[in-house]
Amino acid sequence: MNIFRLTGDLSHLAAIIILLLKIWKTRSCAGISGKSQILFALVFTTRYLDLFSSFISLYNTVMKVIYIMCAYATVYLIYGKFKATYDGNHDTFRVEFLLIPVVLLAVLINHAFAPMEILWTFSIYLESVAILPQLFMISKTGEAETITTHYLFFLGLYRTLYLFNWIWRFYFEGFFDLIAVVAGLVQTILYCDFFYLYITKGTNSNTRWTGPTIPMGVVQVEQSGASDVYGSEEGRHNEGGNSQAAKHTQESSPPEAESHPCRGSQRTN
């Protein structure tokens, strides 16, 4: 195990713990996308089915169990114990626009046409975009609690460290998985805007943080109706603003892998 993989796993674990503690201590899941958490639970479930069929190491097994348990604990807190605080009105991302393409890609582009292989590939593709409902929710509300940004920061850090892990493994172990690398790059790119804002806005716990802009292509606007495909018209970033004032402002402003579990790897996720 190299240092990049270890620190990546610890960053991932830190993100999950930060989110759980935030929900438990505040007794609220406000600002948290339940849809993103369901997608992450689905990622871990489909990726770690080999937990029952193969043993790689104690570390590997323990980390898999922790990820699965924490994912479902988070979903339970959002949709069960603290359901009254869940902001479903803003968590309106249409996840079918993620699930359908991911399923098709997993079936069409994989290492082998076998059930476990397809499920593993599905989890890799889905993880790369599972954070989109959360980013969309922040973009829609226009702000996020600082603790939520810490959660997102450690998730992005985990993925960035895994990029270095793959580089290390390629040069020192001769390992290269194109599917995992490409999906990881996509996921890292989604965090780039967030990283920039996280660093420039600071991390004062007493302030609220203005969310990132959703990447181009995520929100599709019709020329006639001007409505987005993921929610109602009120979901646009300039929600509730005066259209003429917004237009004037715009015109006057300057332009602004995973290792394969079936191949006996020691990769935890």
What integer pLDDT is reported at residue 98 of this predicted model?
95
pLDDT for the residue 202: 54
**pLDDT computed for residue 200 by the predictor:** 66
DSSP calls for the chain:
--HHHHHHHHHHHHHHHHHHHHHHHHT--TT--HHHHHHHHHHHHHH-GGGGT----HHHHHHHHHHHHHHHHHHHIIIIITGGG--TTT----THHHHHHHHHHHHHSSSSSSHHHHHHHHHHHHHHHTTHHHHHHHHHHS-EEHHHHHHHHHHHHHHHHHHHHHHHHHHHT----HHHHHHHHHHHHHHHHHHHHHHHH---TTSEEPPPPPPTTSS-B-TTT--BTTS-GGGSTTTT--HHHHHHHHHHSPP--PPPGGGT-----
pLDDT at 269: 53
What pLDDT was estimated at residue 241? 44
C-alpha 110/C-alpha 93 separation (Å) is 27
Amino acid, single-letter form, for residue 173: E
Determine the Cα–Cα distance for residues 173 and 170; give it in Å rounded to an integer: 6
pLDDT tens-digit series, residues 126-157: 999 999 999 898 888 776 777 788 898 899 89
Six-digit token string for 179: 């599917």
pLDDT at residue 20 above 80? yes
CB 166 within 8 A of CB 181: yes
Give pLDDT, residue 63: 94
Per-residue pLDDT band for 43 (boundaries 50, 70, 90) equals very high
Lowest mean pLDDT across 48-62, 171-185, 242-256: 242-256
Residue 141 has what pLDDT? 76
Q: pLDDT, tens digit, for every residue of 227-240?
A: 343 343 343 334 44
CA proximity to 258, closest of 154, 152, 186, 150:
186
Q: What is the pLDDT of residue 239?
A: 42
Whole-angstrom CA distances from 207 to 24, 28, 145, 149, 201 are 20, 18, 8, 11, 10
Query: What's the confidence (pLDDT) of residue 214?
Result: 53
